[in-house]
Amino acid sequence: MSRLSGRVALITGASRGIGAAVAKRFAAEGAHVILTARTVGGLEEVDDAIRTATGQSATLVPLDLRKTDQIDQLGYSIYERFQRLDILVGNAGVLETLGPVAQFEPKLWDRVMTVNVTANYRLIRTADRLLRASDAGRAIFVTSGAAQAPYPYWGPYAASKAALEMLVRSYAMEIASSNLRVNLIDPGIVATKMRVQAFPGEDQSTLTQPDAITDAFVALAEPACTRHGEIVKAQG
């Protein structure tokens, strides 16, 4: 039996990279996936891959997480169609650029904080009741090793991920007596577009590919998961 059979899963940033890989794997495990991203073409490519592999279709929701009011509308739409949400994967994130904190442009700072922190707060706010309506609600948020140790020129991104970790772990403590399980996942070094932004001369073929880390996401998403309030490393 598939590990996520019959589950309803929302995945942000699902048009490419880790989000797309998780979407395909969840669908292969029997979940109905709701996929959001700004890139419509990318979402359609993921949907085509899911249809080819499983014979099922995804629900596609073009969404710019910087327009945070749209996240509330997404929650209403999920309730109207499914009355619940079994799995939330807060994967979408941006790096924008690397640079000295003192010279970082305010508009770029705002984008990083909005997508990496505020959008996930709005997702929690919107999805909490939907997850509680599930018999085994599961929420997974993607963090980074950058949150754990300071590096020069990574300040805004690292600060956003550190803030995300504190936000999610606080939420996990608040709902500890419920049937929800909430965790963070650190994917490690993976061949993604963001990795290219940070290390443009790197040979991506030598890196772990996104589909190689999906086991960790499935383990945290399935009803049998008992982990809660943890930061889980997808590799090693």
Task: Round to whole Å and give the CA distance between 9 and 218.
Answer: 11
pLDDT (0 to 100) of residue 236 = 77
| 95: in domain | yes
Task: Round to whole Å and give the CA distance between 127 and 217.
Answer: 18
Contacts of 79 (CB under 8 A, 6+ apart): 129, 130
| 131: in domain | yes
| Residues composing the chain | 236
Cα 216 versus chain centre, distance: 13
Instruction: Identify whether the C-beta of residue 33 lies closer than 8 Å to the C-beta of residue 56.
Output: no
CATH code for the domain of 118: 3.40.50.720
| 3: in domain | no
DSSP conformational letter for 187: -
| 28: in domain | yes
Task: Round to whole Å and give the CA distance between 17 and 135.
Answer: 30
| 1: in domain | no
Comparing CA positions, the residue from 188, 182, 148 lying closest to residue 168 is 182
- Domains identified in the chain, total number: 1
Task: Round to whole Å and give the CA distance between 133 and 130.
Answer: 5
Q: Residue 182: what residue type?
A: V
Task: Round to whole Å and give the CA distance between 212 and 231.
Answer: 19
Catalytic residue among 79, 121, 153, 157: 157
pLDDT (0 to 100) of residue 157 = 98
Does this model's pTM top 0.95?
A: yes
pLDDT (0 to 100) of residue 93 = 97
Angle between helices 119-132 and 69-82 (to 10 degrees): 20
Return the residue matching tokens 């979408």: 92
Tell me if residue 171 is catalytic: no
pLDDT (0 to 100) of residue 71 = 96
What domain range includes position 123? 8-233
| 163: in domain | yes
Listed as ranges, residues in the chain with pLDDT below 70 are 1
| 2: in domain | no
pLDDT (0 to 100) of residue 1 = 65
